[in-house]
Amino acid sequence: MAVMTYLQAISEGLRDEMRRDERVFILGEDVGQYGGAFKVTAGLQEEFGEWRVLDTPLSETAIVGAATGAALGGMRPVAEMQFADFVSCAWDHLTTVSAKQYYRMGTPIPMVVRLPCGGGFSGGPFHSQMYDGYFAHVPGLKVVLPATPEDAKGMMIEAIRDPNPVLFFEHKNLYRRIKGEVPEGNYSTPFGKARVAREGADITIIAWSAMVHTATDAAEQLAKEGIDVEVLDMRTISPLDFDAIATSVTKTSKCIVLYEDTRTGGFGAEISARIMEELFETLDGPVKRVATLDSPIPFSPVLEKVVLPQVEDVITAVRELSAY
């Protein structure tokens, strides 16, 4: 085991797969000599050369289109969007071509799109969004949101090996803030298997990506009040491990869904609906949602904290549900 940051773990996963499989290559804006906007790909061009770490024009449409074509040709491309927000430029390639190609023709599209996402660093409305809910709505796309360094490496390796298009959401606020033990060597973490980040008996908080850490921070504070919170890290929302949700909610009988996408239409709303439909008789209170306000993400640090879910928001919701 080695202690790594979240960022280092992603880079290690890329490096391991590039060493193992010569079909794997990286493309994106400034990924080569510069090492990427956040330095995730730093050093990879020096090791693998310019033809496997390709600097592209400033065109997300071209990047994803080229990756789709390369995947059809038998390669395993990993395309980087400098910020997840910019993937909207490549919407048609992802949702109309990549997501539907196997359904239409039976031809796999083994490509990964890396998406540095999320707020919490005063990036403003064009560099802070969570697009996970948009793409979880599209059949044929897998949506992956690791919360720990161990999962970040293992799920990157799994994503590269997957025959389907995988959207790999990397929360920017975790890159250098979160450290953890990561197994050495090549390993993969399967999709569709949630992780119990913290065991508890009173209330379940369902979360993914950076919100897992917001939930666990709130849970530790609430423990001092005698409220025992279980935190479920979904890891992926497409595929979704609803069995894990059912097991946890059945145990605690109360549930909060915590997500960084906007409250209205975010994927947490889908999870809430399924819990109400399929687990209603196990509940001792309404399913509550804690999410980003239906607003663009402000540039101001003070306003950004108001809009994004905070530990205090989770604590308030847990107290209210606990008293229900």
Which positions are annotated as active-site residues?
A: 127
275 vs 268, 282, 289, CA distance in Å?
Answer: 11, 9, 12
Q: What angle do CA 149, 204, 138 make, to 5 degrees?
A: 65
User: Are the beta carbons of 152 and 4 closer than 8 angstroms?
Assistant: no
**Structure-token pair, residue 40:** 């995730």
CA distance 44 to 269: 39
Q: Where does residue 228 rank: exposed (0-12), middle (13-18), buried (19+ CB within 10 A)?
A: middle
Tell me how far apart the alpha carbons of residues 304 and 122 are, in angstroms, rounded to a whole number: 7
**How far apart (Å, rounded) are the C-alpha atoms in residues 147 and 208?**
7
b/e per residue 162-193 (b: at least 16 CB within 10 A): bebbbbbbbbbbbbeebbbebeeeeebbebbe
Q: Which residues sit opposite 24 in a β-bridge? A: 76
| Residue with token string 């997840």 | 84
